[in-house]
Every structure is written in C-alpha cells, then in structure tokens.
Chains A and B, each alone.
Chain A
Amino acid sequence: MSGEVNSARLAVRRKADGALVVELGGDWLARAGLPGIESVETEAASQPFSALEFDTSALGRWNSGLMVFLVKCHELCAKRSIECRVQTLPAGMTRLIKLAEAVPEKKDAARTAAAPVPFLERVGEAGLVVQAGGLSMLTFLGQNALALAALLRGQAQFRWADSLLVMQECGPQALGIVALINFLIGSILAFVGATQLSHFGATLYVADLVSVSTFREMSCIMTGIIMCGRTGAAFAAQLGTMKVNQEVEAFQTFGISPVEFLVLPRVLALIFMIPLLCVFADVIAISGGFVVSTSMLHVNPALYLHRTLAAVSLSTFLLGIFKGAYFGVVVALTGCLRGMQCGSNAAAVGQATTSAVVTGITTIIASDGIFAVLCNALNI
C-alpha cells in the first residue's frame, strides 16, 4: 500500500425522516487517530431517532479500523432496538458485520472478575499447595531410592553410556567456570582477610583463613551453586521439554521407567562429578589466595604453603568432599524433579527451570547451615 493517507473524517447529520446518517470520509485504516464512536453516541442521546444509516460516498481505503467502528454502531443500535441500515454500506462491509454477529457471544466464556478470596481461604490453599509439593517431592525421592536399589540389584533400565555423557557435560566442560569463580573467591578472601588481619600484625595467617574457609565451605558451596545454575537448570529444561513433547510418556508406554532411564544417570553423574570439581576448586582457590598474598601482600611463598598445609586437616578436606557429593544429589534431584513436574507448554519449561534453580540454591544453603551446626556439635 502506498500513497498518502487522507485523514479519516466523521460527521453525523439527521435526515428528514428522523434517521441518523453517519458520514464517513477519508481513509479508515487501523493505524492511528481514527474518530471514536462518541460523536455518534452524543448525537444519538440528544434526540430520539428512527434508524441509523451510513453515507460512504467520500470513503477512501478502509480496513479493520472501520470495522471496529461499524460493529460498535451496530451494537449501539441493537442496545436501543433501533434499525441499523447496514444495507447502506458497501456489500463487503455488510458481509463482515454479519459474520461478526453470526455467532452470539458466549457469555459464560468471558472471564469474570472473581470475587475476592478471603484471607484465611488463601492461607489454607497455600498450605495445601505446600503440602502437595512436599508430598510429590517425597514421592520422587522414594522413586529414586527404589531406582537406585534396582540398579544395585542389576535390574534397572539404566545405561551407563547415558550417565557418562552427562558426566562429560557436567564435569570437564564445567572446569572453566568453576576455575574462574573459585580463583576469584580465593583471591577476594585473601585480600579482605589480610586487611583485617594486618591490624593485629597477623597477615601471615591469611593462608589459614583462605585454606580453611575454602576447604570447609566456599569451594563446595560455590561449586554447588554454579552447577545448580548450569546443570540443574539444564536438567529441568531437558526433562521439561521431553515432557512437553510427550517423550516421557513414550517411555512410560513402553514400560520404561523415566526415573530409572532419565533421572538416575543424571543423579549418579553429579554424585561422581561434583566431589571431583570440589577438589579442583580447592586447589584453584588456594592458588588464588597464594597469588594475591605473595604478589600484593608480600607474604613469603614458602611460608604461605607451609601454613596452608598445617591448617587443613584430612577431616576438613573430606567434609568438603562429602558436602560436594551431597550438593550433587540436591542439584540433580531438584533439576529432574522440576523437569518431571513440568506442564505442557513452553512457558512451563521456563517456570520449571526457574523453580529448579531456586529450589536447588535454597536447599544447598539451608542444608549447609545444618551441616555447620552438626559439625560444631560433633567437633569436626
């Protein structure tokens, strides 16, 4: 469509027989600035009229912009039970109006504003949702325990090839991001710690600070959170998309358990991979602290390494590794659980992914707090 657009014009006049004539002129194109129905309404309200007619002699091009106006006029007449002489319009428009009015509006289909739900009812419903969520989580845990038992008996529908593939995706391919984050964490700890320790003339103890905090807490938590955002989200998206495509149902109809076939390989892969990543993260974080301490804080390199070895006990190291394995289970299970709970459209996959990461990170931090209390009580 080319050529300049003449602005749409609208005028209302009365005929001798009492009919109202709506004069339409110019181009009525649904882009901008079309006259509204108001002037017709005002004229209609000012004095009774016998019928509504249209005069389209000056009308240029038109599209749905005009149709919206005409249908409104039609409804205006219908409301007042006044004749709307659509035959005064070109034939194309008349047919379109007939089409729009052919099927009566389905009244019960329109969404009505629901009455406000009382506060207590909302609380109760939220409670029921939490209960159902907890129940499905426990069910999922139980299914996984059964699947693991079946695997140990050698009866699970499980392929090590799948698990190895996941291991490759979440192990070696995650080394870069794990190294970057933990190197930064190690150097930040050293830098911040040294500033505080220097007040007491104890800058040397920065090695203790960095090594104990990384081995006990930082490396496994950071690795857990990275893997949750990286791999947990991927699991949720993969399984969620398979759910949307009915691929999960296809497994079920072949009598293949989705938990054994899809979830178990992922859980096992993360149980094996996250502890290894933790060891890697430990080394990188220590070297981050080492670089900052020796280059910027003027700590003797040999002394730094000596203090590090003295500060880290075997139990501290193993505690970090154990927590890493536990976080691996958390990440894999939350990712897979949210994926399996996914609804059947694209938006649901997004929700599943979000919810997997939120649940995963919350569980990691919360359970780390519980570990801290337990270790304190057990003197580890």
Chain B
Amino acid sequence: MQPTTTTAEPPKIEIRDLTMAYGSFVVMRGINATIRRGEVFIIMGGSGCGKSTLLRHMIGLKEPAQGEIYYDGEPFWSSNEEARQRRLRSFGVLFQSGALWSSMTLAENVGLPLGEYTDLSPADIAEIARLKLALVGLKGFEDYYPSEISGGMCKRAGLARALALDPEILFFDEPSAGLDPISSRRLDDMILELRDSLGATFVVVTHELQSIFTIGDNSIFLDADTRTMRAQGNPRDLLAHSTDPVVREFLTRGEAPAAQPPGRPQPA
C-alpha cells in the first residue's frame, strides 16, 4: 500500500513543536507530526478546534508563533521568501468552497498557474487545462464561469486547479463539506487514485468519519479543550487501540466503542 521509501530519505513533511496563535490567544501548542511521502494524512478534531488553522500554517498563509514545519528536511518558515515561493509551487491547495477565481472561466482558472510558471504556449495550456478538468469529470465545462456551476462542481474544478502544476503535496480543507454522499465517496476514491498514480502526499482536514477511515494512512487528532494534539497514528489503529476517551468518543460518533471500523477492510 505504501510506496517503498529508503530510510535515508527525510520525511516529506515534519511539524516540530508548532504553536499556533492569533495575537496573544494561543489556539494550539505542542503539535508534532511526521508525514511520509505518499501518505494520506488526516487532520481531525471537532468543529472550531483549529484544524483549518493548522492547514493555513502548512500552506504558508499564517506564520507560526513558535516551532517550524520542514518539507523534505528543509525548514519552511525560517527560510527566505524566494525559497518559500519555490516550495509553494510544489503544493496544490483545495479550499473549502473551491475558491475559484470568479472573474475567470474554469479553463483560465486551471491555466493561470501554468501560464505563470511554465513556458508553455497558450494552446498547450488550454490542452492541459482541458485534461485536468476531464480528470475531475468536468469535460465540456471549460468556458463556464464559477458562478454558473454548482457547488460540488466548483469543488471539483478547484481540485483540477490544485492539480495544475502536478504538485508533490496536495492540501484539502474539508473536501466533503457540502457534498452529497455519492460525490463525497467519489472524491475519496479520487484521492486514493491520485495518491497511487501520482505518488503525491495528501494532507486532508476533515471530520467525516467515513472519509477518515477510508482514505487515512496517518492522522492527528486536535482537541480544543486541552489546546493540543491528543493522538497521532493510523485512524483505524486509533479506533482499535486508543485508550483516550475523547479520541474514542470522536471516532465512534459518541457511541459505544465499535468492534470493527467502518469503511474498507484494510489489506493484510
């Protein structure tokens, strides 16, 4: 299931002793996590506990109050602006509502990063944009504006844009929020497929248990009350072995501990 990695290779992402704060208000402290290449890493926790804030720290939108995030062993926040910008180009981000640029068509949305960072001709860019939109099932919608399509389609178009630069790491903020169960399931399948075909690493913020157990290889659980992480590991293992009552309550939807995790059976 995991792509084989050499032991010498540094972890794809490493979060070390991160403290997140708005001004003097500390949201979370003492966050540590190691994410290997090709993993689907889940950031989970109750509503409003700081999941999205942690994501914002990882994609360069908010500077940590303390601590550092390493990508391929290189520090992100303490390196210079130029290195940070270069690192950002290896990311793809899918925002909660898609965050498509509303003044551009879907094809322009996908094509803009390509136009900025590659020397491709406009015809080639249009071709790639068509392909990326086809990958997320939006063939034929190239010339639509984001306001003309549904919320679920916006989200998929956002995914196509996130895939534009063939990113090494994909960040998803609540990918299944506002999607019907079938679309949500399809998105999960797509994540697994992309991981296996591109070898990309995924960081997914979600509180959908179904998704967590289906796609998660690794996870951390953030807790708003103690303002720190309470657990790290494969969500299915956490369900099976965690002794922390808060984590158990979350993973079982507040019910009595389940014997078998729902979702797909794990390959032996």
Contacts and interface: CB of A to CB of B under 8 A. Distances in A.
Interface of A: 157, 241-242, 245-247, 249-256
B144 interface: no
B60 A254 contact: no
Given A242-B102, A252-B61, 18 more contacts: A157-B116, A242-B101, A246-B95, A246-B97, A247-B99, A249-B95, A249-B99, A250-B101, A250-B161, A252-B60, A253-B60, A253-B61, A253-B91, A254-B88, A254-B112, A254-B113, A254-B165, A255-B89
Contacts of B86: 255
Nearest to B59: A253
Nearest to B89: A255
B66 interface: no
With a 10 A CB-CB cut-off, give which of A242, A246, A250, A256 has the most chain B CB atoms. A250
Contacts of B34: none
A250 B89 CA distance: 12
Given A246-B95, A246-B96, A249-B61, A254 B116 contact: yes
A254 B89 contact: yes
Nearest to A248: B99
Nearest to A162: B103
Contacts of B117: 255
B47 interface: no
Nearest to B85: A255
Nearest to A252: B61
Interface of B: 59-61, 85-86, 88-89, 91, 93, 95-97, 99-102, 112-113, 116-117, 161, 165
B224 to A, nearest CB: 14
Contacts of A246: 95-97, 99
B102 A245 contact: yes
A250 B93 contact: yes
A241 B99 CA distance: 11
A255 B116 CA distance: 10
A250 B95 contact: yes
Contacts of B91: 253
A166 to B, nearest CB: 11
A157 B113 CA distance: 11
A28 B95 CA distance: 48
A253 B97 contact: no
B93 A255 contact: no
A249 B117 CA distance: 18
A240 to B, nearest CB: 13
A260 B8 CA distance: 40
Contacts of A251: 101
Top-9 shortest CB links A-B:
A246-B99, A255-B88, A255-B85, A253-B93, A250-B99, A246-B95, A254-B113, A253-B59, A247-B101
B166 to A, nearest CB: 13
Nearest to B161: A250
A249 B95 CA distance: 9
28 contacts: A157-B116, A241-B102, A242-B101, A245-B97, A245-B102, A246-B95, A246-B97, A246-B99, A247-B99, A247-B100, A247-B101, A250-B93, A250-B101, A251-B101, A252-B60, A252-B88, A253-B59, A253-B60, A253-B91, A253-B93, A254-B89, A254-B165, A255-B85, A255-B86, A255-B89, A255-B117, A256-B113, A256-B116
Contacts of A256: 112-113, 116
Nearest to B92: A253
B22 to A, nearest CB: 13
A261 to B, nearest CB: 9
Contacts of A254: 88-89, 112-113, 116, 165
Contact of A253 (B88, B96, B100, B101): B88
